[in-house]
Amino acid sequence: MIFSRMINRYNTDCLKFDALEEVFGTKDVIPLWVADMDIPAPRSVRRALRRRVHHPIYGYSIHPECFFKSIECWLKDQFDWEIKREWITCTPGIITAFNVAVMTLTEPGDEVIVQPPVYPPFFDAVTDHGRKLVTNPLKYKDGRYFIDFEDLKKKITSKTKMLILCNPHNPVGRVFTREELTELGDICLRNNMTIVSDEIHADIVYKPYQHIPIATISPELAAITISCLAPSKTFNIAGFATSEIIIENKEIREKFRYITKSLHLSHGNVLGNTALIAAYKFGKPWLNRTLKLLKSNIDYVINYCNEHIPSIHIGEPESTFLLWLDFREWGMTHDELTSFLVEKAKLGLSDGIIFGEGGEGFMRMNIGTCRWTLKKAMKQLDKAVRAHKPRS
């Protein structure tokens, strides 16, 4: 069982564990924040890496034929998506990719739409390059989030050039349906907008939900979409910063590659390439087991809250190893909530506020850890609630 034992990650230059003081002002919190998991990568990946590391020279690498082949096979197998090798551009991570997309496909002063509460680097990718951030907040209804199409249509002007979509959605855990994606895509097509579709969580989806890459919906949508995928969340190998960006439209692809080429971003790195190939070729059984464990962790936290702390509301995620906790019933200010969770419950969660509009009163919890840690975290939270009585 891969989740049965907590592996000590302290002093491994690990952002999640070794930056606690900087992020939370104390080391004394259980780290349930940044989105990587506390579980070992698949054995096949570790074996391939060991084999490569054993060779003592780590010079420049190339992408061998099987690098592209393994991506093509994975996308076909997971999403019945047939891509061509030339559509793939490698980038050192997906944050890089959506920044490059904004820089190469929009002009300063153009408007770019994002749908908060959403992954915070989306905001900076727009504003850091002098583009105008326009928000189309998701609608929250009975614990589930939906796209507000009417609001979206109202926000689009002649200056709106791009929409950055997060699907599956971090932090709210939605996997948008074919109908939702089609309606969204139609609006973008009608308004000559490019879609940057961040699908980094595409493989972590719970039955009966199914991820549909927006580019597979129609040839028209494929022609305006930059799809961003990676093995990083799927196989817990984000540290290798290796992702695949799929762009079918040659003109868009060449514009995108203007920067990836000039900055030499697309070569990958020797270990990242090895990890990607092994993960996509051999990692599927590991992923299936991991999905079961993640789902049981999700059920554990939701059931625990329902039973012991019902004033915390959690919508069941359709994807991701992230829970979006609604604390608004406590009636605390956001600062009070943050201090309560750090100082009294001693939990290091991601602050809802950083996800933009709709994030106040929420916190994101990463459940990609072992059950022992989650049990400890929930007990600490319960004890703090009983001792300090926020409205519950």
Interface ranges with ligand PLP (CB under 6 A): 35, 93-95, 119, 166, 170, 198, 200, 230, 232, 238, 243
DSSP classification of residue 62:
-
Q: How far is the CB of 322 from ligand PLP (least distance, A)?
A: 8
Give the separation between CA 126 and CA 134, rounded to whole angstroms: 9
Cβ proximity of 155 and 113 under 8 Å: yes
Q: How far is the CB of 171 from ligand PLP (least distance, A)?
A: 8
Residue among 89 and 232 whose Cβ is closer to ligand PLP: 232
Q: How far is the CB of 353 from ligand PLP (least distance, A)?
A: 17
Q: How far is the CB of 377 from ligand PLP (least distance, A)?
A: 20
Q: Which of 289, 360, 374, 285 is nearest to 327 (CA)?
A: 360
Residue among 95 and 215 whose Cβ is closer to ligand PLP: 95
Residue among 276 and 374 whose Cβ is closer to ligand PLP: 276
Q: How far is the CB of 35 from ligand PLP (least distance, A)?
A: 4
Residue among 101 and 238 whose Cβ is closer to ligand PLP: 238
Q: How far is the CB of 95 from ligand PLP (least distance, A)?
A: 4
Give the separation between CA 353 and CA 265, rounded to whole angstroms: 32
Cβ proximity of 233 and 202 under 8 Å: no
Residue whose structure tokens are 């599956």: 168
Cβ proximity of 166 and 138 under 8 Å: no
Q: How far is the CB of 238 from ligand PLP (least distance, A)?
A: 5
Residue among 164 and 302 whose Cβ is closer to ligand PLP: 164
Give the CA count within 13 Å in the CB-facing half-sphere of 274. Answer: 17
Give the separation between CA 211 and CA 204, rounded to whole angstroms: 9
* Residue at shortest CB range from ligand PLP: 93
Q: Are strands 88-91 and 243-247 parallel, antiparallel or unpaired?
A: antiparallel
Helix residue spans in 320-370 (DSSP H): 334-339
Give the separation between CA 33 and CA 366, rounded to whole angstroms: 6
Strand partners, 227: 197, 246
Residue among 71 and 166 whose Cβ is closer to ligand PLP: 166
Residue among 44 and 319 whose Cβ is closer to ligand PLP: 319
